[in-house]
Every structure is written in C-alpha cells, then in structure tokens.
C-alpha cells in the first residue's frame, strides 16, 4: 500500500530590482540566513516557540522544537549553498520541508519553500498551509534582509 503524499510549493523573488532603497541580498546572504533559521527558527516562524539544537555538524543538525503545543524532533540537512531540508519522522507525522536558493530564467535569485507531507489534507487546511508557507517565506526574506542591513 502506497502512502498518500501531499506536496505544496511557493517561490518568491529575492530582490526587487526597482526597490532602490531595499538591501539586495546575495546567495551568500541567503545561505547564512537559512543556516541561522535552522539553528533558531523563532524569528522566522513565530509559531515556533522553542528550539533546542541537540547536535550539529557541517552537514546539518538535529533540533527539538515546540510549535502550536506540539513538541517534536527534526533532522535538518544542509546541501551547502543551495538547500536546507527539515525532516520530521515520528509516530504522529512524516514530512520534509525544503528551503531552496535558486535562480529564475533571467538569473535572478529566487527562494522556494516546498513541503512534502505523508498524509492527505482537506481543501481548507491545504489552502491555509499554502498561505502559511507564503507568509513564512516572505518573513524569512525580511528577517534575512534586516540582518544583512545591520
């Protein structure tokens, strides 16, 4: 029997070429920010209220987080300079969420958040998840941009 898999994805441009007053982020800025988000996601994801890094190395880390009253462990894997993958696999949930730095057809930087969940969701829950993903991606860029401006 094959498990049901639900996939969602959201991509946004990193820099607005007409926003002259906006700090323009580089790939390195994005990478530094995504690694910081892995270690302490609270500024990027307000629903996460606690995070403890259990172990870490150059290829990733293991963290325990509290989100919306749920406590769980995630394995975070770094594809250096390109992708940070967050994986939860326990008796309650199995998912992978990727934060990917890439370029669009014109060579402009984009940030893509995607999630793959080993379960099915109703239409309203799926819509709420897509909205939350878009908000988290935008907030992630804003926090990274603020850090780069400091």
Assess if residue 33 is contained within a domain: yes
pLDDT higher than 90, residue 80: yes
Higher pLDDT residue, 68 or 32? Answer: 32
pLDDT for residue 2 = 54
Q: 């987080």: which residue's tokens? A: 65
Q: Is residue 14 part of a domain?
A: yes
Q: Distance (Å, rounded) from C-alpha 91 to C-alpha 47?
A: 22
Q: How far apart are CA 98 and CA 2, in angstroms?
A: 22
Domain of residue 67, residue span? 6-149
- Which pLDDT score, from 0 to 100, does residue 37 have? 97
Query: Is residue 106, in this structure, part of any structural domain at all?
Result: yes
Q: Which of 31, 11, 110, 138 is nearest to 78 (CA)?
A: 31
pLDDT on residue 68: 84
Closest CA to 47 of 148, 115, 139: 139
Lowest mean pLDDT among 28-32, 55-59, 89-93, 101-105: 89-93
Tell me the CATH number at 46: 3.30.530.20
Q: Does the predicted model carry a pTM greater than 0.95? A: no
Answer whether residue 94 is part of any domain.
yes
Q: Which residues neighbour 110 within 8 Å (Cβ) at sequence distance 6 or greater?
A: 11, 12, 13, 14, 101, 102, 103, 104
State the total domains in the chain: 1
- For the segment 12-64, what is each residue's pLDDT rounded down to a tens digit? 999 988 888 889 999 999 999 999 999 999 999 989 999 999 999 989 999 99
In tens, the pLDDT along 118-133 reads: 999 999 999 999 999 9
The radius of gyration of the chain's CA atoms, rounded to the nearest angstrom, is: 16
């Amino acid at each position: 029997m094959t498990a049901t898999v639900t996939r969602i994805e959201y991509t946004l441009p990193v820099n607005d070429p007409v926003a002259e007053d906006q700090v323009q982020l580089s790939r390195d800025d994005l990478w530094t920010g995504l690694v910081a988000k892995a270690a302490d996601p609270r500024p990027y994801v307000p629903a996460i209220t606690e995070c403890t890094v259990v172990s870490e190395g150059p290829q990733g880390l293991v963290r325990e987080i509290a989100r919306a009253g749920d406590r769980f462990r995630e394995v975070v894997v770094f594809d250096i300079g390109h992708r940070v993958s967050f994986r939860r696999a326990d008796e309650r949930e199995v998912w992978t969420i990727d934060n990917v730095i890439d370029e669009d057809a014109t060579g402009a930087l984009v940030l893509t958040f995607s999630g793959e969940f080993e379960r099915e969701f109703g239409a309203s829950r799926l819509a709420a998840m897509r909205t939350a993903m878009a908000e988290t991606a935008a907030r992630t860029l804003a926090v990274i941009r603020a850090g780069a401006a400091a």
